[in-house]
Structure 1
Amino acid sequence: MLLRRSFLIGATALLLAAAPAAVFAQAFDLSPNPPSRLHAEKVDAIAALLPADFDYAKDGVLSIAIAAGAPPISAYATDGATVVGFDPDLGRLVGEVLGLEVEIVPIAWIDWPLGLSSSKYDAVISNVGVTEERKEKFDFSTYRKGVHGFYVKADSPITSIKEPKDIAGLRIITASGTNQERITLEWDRINQEAGLAPVEIQYYDDDAASDLAIASGRADVELNPNGPLAYKAALTGNTKLVGTISSGWPNPAEVGVTTRKDSGLAKPFTAAINHLIETGTYAKLLEQWNLTPEGVEQSQTNPPGLPKP
């Protein structure tokens, strides 16, 4: 069955997966308005880059869509309504630099292309990877690297996955229609051409089903965005990280704030992110959400993306 996740989100570092659960839990304040939330001042020169004739989805408000459900990237706060995490915090900071009030709109991840195209919201910050195909319809301002993680049961004999031969004959959980599925299929093709055993790919409706498959031994490995898997591993201790891979394998990959093509928002968004990088606020935000290794040195507007299939 096809995986119907409400998000596609990004990665975190090996050290995150290894962090003790108690320490990890204390590191994140998931309250609706934590006192530790970072803020930024308006920069008039950057705000001036906003197109004067842009038709906002809501007058006077920058509407940003985010698929909640995968901390530390994005999740619902303890009030069950406010979206918190790295992505919404970045969106709020960008809004402050631009001098705009920000409204976070929770969405299902699969809905973002139609919602953005139909102007239901002004931007999407939800781990959307930059691809050449997407660039035909959307603009991007990059803000984080994309990394996927291989996770196995905590007592699994599997200790390392680095290259195609390491997955030969394994039962692998991944998400349908994603880069991680593409990587799995390509590695399997390479293996079968080399005479190695094929993989068995498994798709699940939700995280609970995939967790049960790993715990019960019905599946050997899960390959999906590393951030939420690392969070879960740290909190439960039921799984362990045995390898990471660029979400754009064999190419490097980045995710970007996504806006409508030629809407005029990409340039000010990129400038705002670079201002946050230059002032050190971006680094503090990465550290706050334990995502430092995923940081980019510079935000770029529409850099080369993953090639078309």
Structure 2
Amino acid sequence: MSVPIRFTRSASLAVTAALSGCLVLAGCGSNPPQAKGATDSSTGAAADQAKPKLTVDKELNALLPEKARTSGALVSVNNGSFPPYEIAGSDGHSLTGASADLSDALGQLLGVKIEHVTADGLPSELTGIKAGRYDLAIGPIGDFKDRQGANDFVDWAQEFVVFAVKKGNPQGIKDLDTACGKRIAVMGGGSAEGVIKNQSEKCVADGKPAVKVQSYKDQPGSILAVRSGRADAFFSSQAPLTYFVSQSKGELELTGTGQANGFNDLYQGAVVAKDSPLRDVLVKAIQKLIDNGTYGQIMKQWGLSANQLDKPGVNLGGDA
């Protein structure tokens, strides 16, 4: 059965404003400002609409950790710069995007409020979850074997890694091999950084120029490097790059699509501490949202239908 849903949350203008402002200012933080009365990037429809309303599942609520049931809240951490999934407000506690809408639906189903906190990058997120400072990260965060030792992943999205380049692709970047000698921006500490550094070594071994790897703290800073001409391409997840390209007013395009680009199947999801009871609760809750149509409508609203999974899974990711 499909549940009719209408959303209040949209961030189409939020990142546009942040990108435009950062081109003028000296730097760009990880928390682009929110925009009220924004327009959805994929539909063009005004997003000032009603939130989804779901009934509390008492069985799932009873499976939550006692602390969450007592407080009526779960704390989810993000790094604020993964549109269209996560776009954090400047106050460090508000969030818009597909992940925010999914969090709202999960909170209603579980009978708790999911509170959002922005941390300083992915390492801080994962360390904070392991230490118990945060209950979870709704993500989606890339699920890889080397990240599964201290945390468990509840995967709810699939991803692909491509390049964002200037319109017309003036540097002719089509895949990893054509990145040799080029200035490639990546997110520092992310899986794409490791892949592009390995590619740089391969370039040298093949007698070609090394890749000039530029590591940035967040997505906006990386994409701005391409728009301003400081980098030739941004190598990252296809979903946020598609979003940034759609907001670039024709300045950018994607390249390298439909290829592995150094990765096996990529899964992304929520993160909880190893063996946390939240893991199984999230699996069951997300499955309910898939079954009743809520998940599919959220993903469609944010242009993410191609990233959907038929069912959630635990630690589906392999080696990077």
Deviations 1:162-199 (A, max 9, x none): 3x322222221112221111111222333333333322
Number of residues of Structure 1 aligned to a counterpart in Structure 2: 285
Gaps of 5+ in 1: 8-21
RMSD between superposed Cα atoms in Å: 3.3
Quick check: 1:121 aligned with 2:141? no
Deviation at 1:126, TM superposition (A): 2.4
Q: How does 1:235-250 map to 2 (within 5 A)?
A: 235-236=247-248, 237-244=250-257, 249-250=262-263
- Structure 1: distance between partners of 2:193 and 2:178: 16
- Structure 1: distance between partners of 2:297 and 2:93: 25
Quick check: 1:202 aligned with 2:219? no
The residue number in structure 2 matching 1:44 is: 58
Alignment TM-score, normalising by the size of structure 2: 0.76
- Structure 2: distance between partners of 1:222 and 1:117: 30
Aligned-partner SS, 2:56: coil
AA aligned opposite 1:136? G
Higher deviation after alignment, 136-145 or 63-72: 63-72
AA aligned opposite 1:278? D
Gaps of 5+ in 2: 1-26, 32-38
Q: How does 1:87-236 map to 2 (within 5 A)?
A: 87-110=99-122, 111-158=124-171, 161-162=174-175, 164-204=176-216, 210-211=222-223, 213-236=225-248
- Structure 2: distance between partners of 1:119 and 1:250: 31
Q: 1:295 aligns with which of 283, 298, 308?
A: 308
Higher deviation after alignment, 123-132 or 211-220: 211-220
Q: Percent identity?
A: 26
Contact 2:106 2:286 in 1 (8 A): yes
The residue number in structure 2 matching 1:252 is: 265
Deviations 1:181-228 (A, max 9, x none): 111122233333333332211234666664554345442111123333
The residue number in structure 1 matching 2:41 is: 24
Deviation at 1:58, TM superposition (A): 7.6
Deviation at 1:279, TM superposition (A): 1.3
Higher deviation after alignment, 247-256 or 275-284: 247-256
Deviation at 1:133, TM superposition (A): 2.5
Taking CA–CA contacts closer than 8 Å with sequence separation of 6 or more, which of the two structures ends up with the larger relative contact order? 1
Deviations 1:245-284 (A, max 9, x none): 7899431121121111122110010010011111111110
Higher deviation after alignment, 209-218 or 261-270: 209-218
